[in-house]
Chains A and B, each alone.
Chain A
């Protein structure tokens, strides 16, 4: 079993829709949770960084963490064609942790 599971999609939605992206994990030591966006032929770009359980909002993006269920989500409101990319969740146990453990990534397409 992988430490982090993420539905690879692909996910296709109309412009303006609310998008929900999710990851589950098995390692209860994870305390730091990130979402990265990766455009084709580019490196991952850090979107959200959260600690422990709760919600964090940044513009149209909301990250949600439920440690009791080992489940994290990223919501995108008013989705735009420019949001079309692969979204990767990542986790670490400590701030000083050497490695991030990534999900497989979900490919998202926003249709005009």
Chain B
């Protein structure tokens, strides 16, 4: 049972390069999320998708774009990477937003921007 799968797990970029983090879930969840985790800052929401066809900004959306490709997949794109985007990125999914249900997380993608 795969759950939430993120790729790649590690990536090193140079400033100004672009890349896309991929996320797929196999639990038929409606809602998907992208968080970043930084030391001393905890987990901060970048973007989320409450349902297929919708996306909303979270706490720290600047410098990122997202695409909810279909119900299973939710990608995060960095158009022009900056050193401040060095972080560990987590994708998560849940049955729906705003409820009492569990969020299921991927294993994370560690991104370094030089």
Partners in one complex: no
Q: Which residues of A contact B (CB under 8 A)?
A: none
